[in-house]
Chain A
Amino acid sequence: MTDSTASDPAAEVLARCLALYEDMSFSRVRRWKEAHPGGLAIGALPIYVPRPLLEAMGCLPVSIFGGGDQLDVIRGDSYFQSYICRIPRSTLELAMGGQLDVLDGMLFPSICDVIRNLGGIWNMLFPERFTAYVDLPQNFDRDIGGRFYTGELRRIAAGLVGRGAKPPSDEELRAAIRRENSRRRVLSELSALRRREPWRLRASEAYLAARAGSVLEAQEHEAWLRELLAALERREARAYDNVRVVVRGAFCEQPPLGLIRTLEAAGCDIVDDDFQLGLHFIEGDIEEDSSIDPWTALSNAYLDRGVATSSRYIGEATKGDALIESVRAAAAEGVIFAAASFCDPALLDQPMLEAALDRQGIPHTSLKYAENSGQFQVIREQAGAFSDAVKLWGSAA
């Protein structure tokens, strides 16, 4: 037991999470494969893929978030023009460096044209590997979009079976849904704790805890999260006089950990965010009831209770309503828009969300980053000025 573990009961589990975050060689995934002969490790680009389906087929879903700030991108850069965000180039760098060899396939969900085209690049560069595009419907009628989506799920499942995954029985699929629900309930408990006592669980820590789920099965991840939750209850923590903020825009290419910590150091308690959105994408439980076909349950969850993020068409509702609701639920005092440079979905959404906040008099500020940004001085000053202004005047002015 280290000194910090002695003084902070959460230190050990958080250190484990940090180690996974920093492990660019995916050794945890390698270990999982050794322990599960015949099991497939399937990479998935952000944001959302139906993880329970993969688990029910004996696969380990592995979320891929590029190379972060730890990877020198050389080859990847020669495949993308300068005005394209960084995540596709660092993901390609990982693949070309062999770090992704541990994966038996990759899923590319329909978030944006960059991820979509990256799927095509994968097909061309690695034709022997399993690659599937997950075309998430933008029609949310169960009979139309739902039918299409369950077809997509079955198509992807058939592709995986072709690569050696086991076809999922309804019972196995239900069991995987139950495990996913259970994991997500703990995540929700952690989110609630963070909203209640942000000084007890910092956003940067919550981030690491959620991110561990990138390479862990739901059940194991849940165990880690429960361990963390229990440790946090014993943690001695004192309240800071910080400003409570919601962060939006960082749902795909992730901000460097240093950036999240910089916002905290600048006096912001991040009480809600869209980092690691895939794990929070469904609001509430996926139906587990044995009277419901589990494929339909997965589809219904996506259609009816997917969160309002910029890669999802907002039909009848007013843009920004969901954000305002989050601000209220988290009793936040302001919003920080933090988006990856050149991220079309986030940056095109932002003016609409800003307008909605303005209508409600909710202060906001915005910044851009790349996953490998290393200098945070300007961001620190900007966030510091924002938190001071909100504290003093209740506005960003």
Chain B
Amino acid sequence: MSNPAMTQSAQLEPAEKDQSQIEQKRMIADHFERLARAKAEGKKVVYTFVPGNLTELIGALDMLAVLPEINALQSGMRKKSAGYIAEAEKAGHSEDVCTYVKCDIGMLKSGNIGPTGTKLPEPDLLLLSYTGCFTFMKWFELLREEYKCPVVMLHVPYQTDGEITPEMREYIVRQLKDVVIPAMEQVAGKKLDMRELSRRLQLSHRAEDDLVAVWESARHRPSPIDGYFGGVYYVGPIFSAFRGTEDAVRYYQMLRAEVDERVRRKEGPMTPDGPAGEERFRLVVEGPPNWTSFLDFWRMFSREGATVVASTYTRVGGLYDKGFRHSPDEPLESLADYCLGCYTNLGLPTRTALLEDYIRRYEADGFLINSVKSCNSFSAGQLVMLRELEKRTGVPGGFIESDLVDPRYFGKANIENRLQSYLQMLEARRGRASA
């Protein structure tokens, strides 16, 4: 699954930009420029996934990361995904499977032009971090067929019972030491400097502290952030190529300061149409957003005064608000714990408990599930979670269905109707409670 809106195109963004957003745009532009020069400069390129990404390791070996999930979501936002998916289906890929994969394959078959309009460099290594999603494994098997480059697999066990056992950690650390790092060193042509890895993990830690403070700010009324639509921008740097860099530390300091300022001024979040109006509903959202109609989708909420105070999608590339931080003191162990803790790597009971906690902690009026057709990892079991959460919290849940990047599965009118009826129901409920 994943992820954040590392977007290049101004019309896809909220009307007014914060300084942090301008900074993020610069960081992304720099990264893509580095990628464009990579082959000429002899830099090695590693394709990997957002959940369980080993960015600090990639950076410490002086390699550059490409995240195909982000390319797919970008293609969705830039209205290219329908064509790419059609291309992949024409080449024999089933209409039943994850559309991120098909979007990526279609993009590759159409020349591999990335979000900035330049051709993406081919991978020197496919780093298969198998965390929380079975499809990842098939995705990189498919890419290996196309690129004929080495693949290295990191199998991350599933946290069924919400507990990381020493055996799980040891299994990952052993893979890192004996398989993953040697394979990466071979491609990088250099040895890993553990001090450099630790330095980067320290930087990650700092950025993570600031990100958690940003999530926490949603406890204020009004919430100064939208933790879903706005949230996907906030996680952009930390979920992708920037965790463990000074850039990311600076970005999160800046973001935190802006959010603190909005708290001080009792302002709500930014929306696609400017600053939010009155906060009428506080929602928690489970499931990824739709990217092909991202702004339309957001407006369905923002125009009704609905702010998302917390979301699980923004935890797929790392769950920090329960206390985990990357640690320079135990580098490999902390990378292991990070991979194990990504949201979709958690058992359904743990996911449900997390949502319950968000509903209570952020005093949500309701919670909504956006169930996407593509993603069994997220979606299988959501209806059980819905029932369970209603039972535990007494807060009513809503359910809508769409897809990540296949516009055929985004029924705008239908989703809008459902959402409006849901919000009306919340309103009526509130009226009854105060009567």
A residues in contact (CB < 8 Å) with B: 78-81, 83-84, 88, 110-114, 116-121, 123-125, 132-133, 135, 137-139, 141, 143-145, 147-148, 151-152, 155, 310-311, 313-315, 319, 341-345, 347-352, 354-355, 368
The 9 A-B residue pairs whose C-beta atoms are closest, nearest first, are A120-B348, A348-B138, A347-B94, A138-B155, A148-B171, A117-B380, A117-B381, A133-B160, A113-B377
Cβ-defined partner of B160 (8 Å) among A119, A139, A315, A342: A119
Name the CB-closest residue of B to A339. B94
Contact status of A349 and B383, CB under 8 A, knowing A113-B133, A120-B347, A319-B145: no
B147 interfacial contact with A, CB 8 Å: no
- The docked-state distance in angstroms from the alpha carbon of A77 to that of B14 is 39
- Beyond A81-B371, A113-B135, 8 additional contacts (C-beta under 8 Å) are A84-B376, A120-B348, A121-B348, A121-B381, A139-B175, A152-B167, A313-B155, A344-B96
- The docked-state distance in angstroms from the alpha carbon of A118 to that of B135 is 17
- The docked-state distance in angstroms from the alpha carbon of A145 to that of B178 is 12
- The docked-state distance in angstroms from the alpha carbon of A135 to that of B151 is 22
Q: B135, B351, B376, B388 — which one has the most chain A CB atoms within 10 A of its CB?
A: B376
- The docked-state distance in angstroms from the alpha carbon of A219 to that of B352 is 43
Cβ-defined partner of B384 (8 Å) among A125, A354, A368: A125
- The docked-state distance in angstroms from the alpha carbon of A148 to that of B155 is 11
B237 interfacial contact with A, CB 8 Å: no
- The docked-state distance in angstroms from the alpha carbon of A354 to that of B153 is 24
Contact between B101 and A315 (Cβ–Cβ < 8 Å)?
no
- The docked-state distance in angstroms from the alpha carbon of A310 to that of B94 is 15
Contact between A88 and B134 (Cβ–Cβ < 8 Å)?
no
B279 interfacial contact with A, CB 8 Å: no
- The docked-state distance in angstroms from the alpha carbon of A74 to that of B175 is 44
Contact between B157 and A148 (Cβ–Cβ < 8 Å)?
yes
A152 partner residues in chain B, CB cutoff 8 A: 167
Cβ-defined partner of A139 (8 Å) among B92, B179, B352, B383: B179
- The docked-state distance in angstroms from the alpha carbon of A345 to that of B97 is 9
Contact between B174 and A342 (Cβ–Cβ < 8 Å)?
no
Contact status of A119 and B347, CB under 8 A, knowing A124-B388, A341-B96, A352-B141: yes
Contact between A84 and B134 (Cβ–Cβ < 8 Å)?
no
Contact between A81 and B379 (Cβ–Cβ < 8 Å)?
yes
Contact between B178 and A113 (Cβ–Cβ < 8 Å)?
no
Q: A80, A119, A344 — which one has the most chain B CB atoms within 10 A of its CB?
A: A344
Interface string of B358-372 (1 = CB under 8 A from A): 000000000000010
A343 partner residues in chain B, CB cutoff 8 A: 96
A112 partner residues in chain B, CB cutoff 8 A: 134, 376
Name the CB-closest residue of A to B150. A316
- The docked-state distance in angstroms from the alpha carbon of A80 to that of B97 is 16
Contact status of A81 and B92, CB under 8 A, knowing A110-B158, A310-B138, A348-B142: no
- The docked-state distance in angstroms from the alpha carbon of A78 to that of B160 is 24
Contact between B138 and A120 (Cβ–Cβ < 8 Å)?
no
Q: List 19 A-B contacts (CB under 8 A).
A: A110-B158, A114-B376, A118-B381, A119-B160, A123-B347, A124-B388, A137-B155, A139-B175, A141-B178, A147-B171, A155-B167, A311-B134, A314-B141, A343-B96, A344-B135, A345-B138, A348-B101, A348-B142, A352-B145
Contact between B134 and A354 (Cβ–Cβ < 8 Å)?
no
B91 interfacial contact with A, CB 8 Å: yes
B199 interfacial contact with A, CB 8 Å: no
Contact between B141 and A133 (Cβ–Cβ < 8 Å)?
no
Interface string of B153-164 (1 = CB under 8 A from A): 101011010000
Contact between A144 and B384 (Cβ–Cβ < 8 Å)?
no
Contact status of A144 and B97, CB under 8 A, knowing A83-B373, A125-B384, A319-B141: no
Contact between B142 and A114 (Cβ–Cβ < 8 Å)?
no
Expressed in whole angstroms, the minimum distance between the Cβ of A77 and any Cβ of chain B is: 10
Cβ-defined partner of A78 (8 Å) among B137, B142, B383: B383
Contact between B134 and A113 (Cβ–Cβ < 8 Å)?
yes
A80 partner residues in chain B, CB cutoff 8 A: 380, 383
B97 partner residues in chain A, CB cutoff 8 A: 344, 347-348
Name the CB-closest residue of B to A108. B160
